[in-house]
A and B are shown apart, each in its own frame.
Chain A
Amino acid sequence: MNIELSAEQQAFSQKIRDYMSQHMMTDDFKAELACEEFSHGGGPIYWQKMRQLGADGWIRYSWPEELGGAGADPVEQYLLVDEAKRAGFPWPALSANSIGPVFAKHAQPEIRDKIVGEILGGEAYLAIGYSEPSAGSDLASLRTRAERDGDDWIINGQKIWTSCANFSQYIWLAARTDPDPAKRHKGLTIFLVPTNSVGYSCTLIQTMGVVTTTTYYQDVRIPDCYRVGEVNGGWPLITGQLNVERLSLVSYGHVAKLYDETLKLLYSDTVYRELLATPWVQRNLAVAKARLSALKLMCLKSAWKIEQGGSGMVEASATKVFGSELYVELGRLMAEILAPLSNLRGDDAVLNGLMERWYRKGTVHTFGGGANELQRSIVATAGLGLPRGA
């Protein structure tokens, strides 16, 4: 057994780290990301960076070779996302990891090459339109309708939490194409809806932590070539990429960032010497360290399992629950250490506001990407062989 990354893997991580700090996370881009409306991307510098990322081959890096990618193995894929997120880059996971390659595989020839080119070149981004006001965890209950009309489809409905739709060129949309209630999972189809379509609109939702959107589809007419995969064959496209995606949601670098930055601050200045010598502060640091160590290994082991040809389903679900709850727990453990300052915003904020934002952004992790209750049920049935329940 060897738990260390190989020399090549370490060099790869270092390369990404350098690339991110030298070419991506430039001061002008950091300033742009600090604006609320561009915090996910979508600003002018964001698009410059996306095009450079594409030109430098990083968006295609994780795609399989037969789809025009570099065919990185799952461990490298994980390391790439981990380093990008650690650097604070708004990594285009939907282009580079989850949706992009699924689109390339299942898209129809009329639109495939053009849009694949846009995605890989960093010129276009996608938003996921799955959730609806009445369909969250029970995604298969979604009601947005797509009806055939000659060579076209007419789409009607509403999506909610369609993140990044405000600056995306396309919505990766799940719609009902068979209203028969007996065909919940088997009546869904995936469409790629251009956001400049007539009848499409988008409004912002300000959440406690991030900006997301509601998207509306009123008699949106799109040609059949924008259908992705088979009619009523949408469900496998929705669930196929979830394991790798779940891992990237709680990647180590992303979660460890607050610990790393807090410790750096405590080490950096003699003002904090007394805090560092305080037993309960040491205890908070120790709990964080011990739990983060496990997260790091769990992430790598899950990626390694997938690389070995396993589905990684149970590992990914277990890691997602652990990592997302650790994210929340860290927000508390670290903020307690700097408690009097931890909630300050603006110029007075500690750690450039990272600590204050952590709480506001943190809660999403435990229900987004499949609520932790659903993940626990996966672990219980697939990992422990327990009978399926209600």
Chain B
Amino acid sequence: MDFNLTEFQREILDLSDKLLSDYCTQARLRKAEDLGYFDAELWQQMADAGLLGLALPESVGGMAQDFETLTVLLEQLGRHVAPVPALPVLATASLPLLPYANVACVQAALRAVCSGEGMLTAALADSGFTNSSASDTLAENRDGKLYLYGEKSRVPAGMQASACWTVAQDGGDVGIYLFACEQVGVKRRAQETTNGQSLAHFSLDGAQAELLVKGADADAMLTAARHYQQAATAALATGLCEGMLALASEHCSERKQFGRPLGSFQAVAHQLADCYIDKACLRVASEQAACQLRDGIDAEESALVAAYWTTEALHRISHRSQQVHGGTGVDRDYPLFRYCLWARQLEMDLGGQNSVLAALGSNIAAAHAA
């Protein structure tokens, strides 16, 4: 048992913290808000520093580090509310493709991620309510080429992405397909969401695509994507919680009412102590999921536990941080609101707490049958 970061991980932490401190200033973040909360210059800086390829293989120009090391970067991105889509691009979309990294089209997509020349995303939801990866999108084979037809909604980084993978059916066979975003068969429309990040709606009308995997391998890839999304979200959320709590603690140490600092009132201090405990729980749950994914251990349970704590900590800490700030906390000239809106975004991106518990609970019940 050792909860220390490795020396290399510490270097990544310091490097990313320094870079993000320079780039995530209030002025730049405000500017990014007008651009779908995306700072292209920062993204390119991250590419140049090797951070985008941190957990990608050397064969595509990456640093070949493990998932746990990526979570160190993700936490810093949360800590600085960095306006970059690292979570969906570097974790959810890229990592499930690693077993196929020498397939030519995958290799090209990952290489583009590393260099910053392109961006890879995953379209995992159809339009409408569904949050499941079951898809109505159809794949058609014409003259040896594959074309996709269907609607995809809420594609993360969808307006910036150059490549995207998704789920489609070919006569009942579920497959994972990779396609280029800039082609006549793909129409994109920006979707706005609460934290200012832009998502995209894709209308696929004969989008030329390549089949990556089918059947059980496709299911395995979707499961991997979910695990990476849950664990990576937990890491990013840990950073957000650190950020919110740092702001709240500082505020309550300085702001005085009734002649005393707010934090000297027990009712205030204890709310923040509870936030500290939630954050500590989230952090260990996140660490557990990251280590298990790194080691290739079945992470189904630890990813769900991490997702549970993500929803719990984000909800509770964001509301309490707001509460103890009073009016200051909701002012757009004060940094807290960005953390809170991102917290809300991530909480619901995971499907919300009850859906996470339903999955965990049905696994517990099913363990009996096994």
The answer on a CB contact under 8 Å between A1 and B2 is yes
B108 beta carbon closer than 8 Å to chain A: no
Greatest chain A CB density within 10 A among B1, B264, B276 is at: B1
CA distance A15 to B56 in the complex (A): 42
The answer on a CB contact under 8 Å between A3 and B287 is yes
A111 beta carbon closer than 8 Å to chain B: no
The answer on a CB contact under 8 Å between A387 and B285 is no
B270-281 contact mask (Cβ, 8 Å, vs A): 1 or 0: 101110110011
| Chain A contacts for B308, CB-based, 8 A | 286, 290
The answer on a CB contact under 8 Å between A389 and B266 is yes
Q: Which of A272-320 contact B (CB under 8 A)?
A: 276-277, 279, 281-287, 289-291, 293-294, 297-298, 300-301, 304-305, 315, 318
CA distance A321 to B274 in the complex (A): 9
| Chain A contacts for B260, CB-based, 8 A | 387, 389
Q: Which of B336-369 contact A (CB under 8 A)?
A: 354, 357-358, 360-362, 364-365, 368
| Chain A contacts for B287, CB-based, 8 A | 1, 3, 297
| Chain A contacts for B368, CB-based, 8 A | 266-267, 276
CA distance A383 to B281 in the complex (A): 14
CA distance A283 to B364 in the complex (A): 10
Tell me, rounded to whole Å, the shortest Cβ–Cβ distance linking A283 to chain B.
Answer: 5
The answer on a CB contact under 8 Å between B1 and A290 is no
| Chain A contacts for B277, CB-based, 8 A | 318, 321-322, 379
The answer on a CB contact under 8 Å between B269 and A389 is yes
B5 beta carbon closer than 8 Å to chain A: yes
B29 beta carbon closer than 8 Å to chain A: no
CA distance A286 to B90 in the complex (A): 29
Greatest chain A CB density within 10 A among B305, B360, B361 is at: B361
A75-105 contact mask (Cβ, 8 Å, vs B): 1 or 0: 1000000000000000000000000000000
CA distance A380 to B272 in the complex (A): 7
| Chain B contacts for A297, CB-based, 8 A | 284-285, 287-288
| Chain B contacts for A279, CB-based, 8 A | 358, 361
The answer on a CB contact under 8 Å between A293 and B305 is yes
| Chain B contacts for A373, CB-based, 8 A | 266, 270
A300 partner, pick from B1, B249, B280, B285, beta carbons under 8 A: B1
Q: How many residues of B contact A (CB 8 A)?
A: 48
Binds B, one of A4-12, A171-179, A190-198, A212-220: A4-12
B177 beta carbon closer than 8 Å to chain A: no
B207 beta carbon closer than 8 Å to chain A: no
A283 partner, pick from B5, B6, B266, B357, beta carbons under 8 A: B357
B264 partner, pick from A284, A289, A290, A390, beta carbons under 8 A: A390
A340 beta carbon closer than 8 Å to chain B: no
A304 partner, pick from B1, B6, B249, B273, beta carbons under 8 A: B1
CA distance A120 to B265 in the complex (A): 46
B263 partner, pick from A281, A315, A389, beta carbons under 8 A: A389
B252 beta carbon closer than 8 Å to chain A: yes
Tell me, rounded to whole Å, the shortest Cβ–Cβ distance linking A311 to chain B.
Answer: 16
| Chain A contacts for B266, CB-based, 8 A | 373, 377, 389-390
B181 beta carbon closer than 8 Å to chain A: no
The answer on a CB contact under 8 Å between A285 and B361 is yes
| Chain B contacts for A389, CB-based, 8 A | 260, 263-266, 269
B1-16 contact mask (Cβ, 8 Å, vs A): 1 or 0: 1111110010000000
A282 partner, pick from B261, B274, B365, beta carbons under 8 A: B365
The answer on a CB contact under 8 Å between A290 and B365 is no
| Chain A contacts for B263, CB-based, 8 A | 380, 384, 386-387, 389
Q: Which of B1-50 contact A (CB under 8 A)?
A: 1-6, 9
The answer on a CB contact under 8 Å between A301 and B3 is yes
A2 partner, pick from B273, B281, B291, beta carbons under 8 A: B291
A376 beta carbon closer than 8 Å to chain B: yes
B228 beta carbon closer than 8 Å to chain A: no
The answer on a CB contact under 8 Å between B357 and A3 is no
The answer on a CB contact under 8 Å between B1 and A2 is yes
Given A279-B361, A318-B276, A386-B252, A294 and B270 touching (CB < 8 A)? Answer: no
A206 beta carbon closer than 8 Å to chain B: no
B309 beta carbon closer than 8 Å to chain A: yes
Other contacts beyond A290-B308, A301-B284, A387-B264: 11, CB < 8 A: A1-B6, A282-B362, A283-B361, A291-B281, A304-B2, A380-B263, A384-B263, A384-B276, A386-B272, A387-B253, A387-B263
19 A/B residue pairs, CB under 8 Å, sorted by A: A1-B290, A2-B291, A3-B284, A6-B1, A263-B364, A276-B368, A281-B361, A284-B361, A285-B361, A294-B285, A297-B284, A318-B273, A322-B280, A373-B270, A376-B273, A376-B274, A379-B277, A390-B265, A390-B266
Interface residues of chain B, those whose CB is within 8 Å of chain A, are 1-6, 9, 68, 245, 249, 252-253, 260-261, 263-266, 269-270, 272-274, 276-277, 280-281, 284-285, 287-288, 290-291, 301-302, 304-305, 308-309, 354, 357-358, 360-362, 364-365, 368
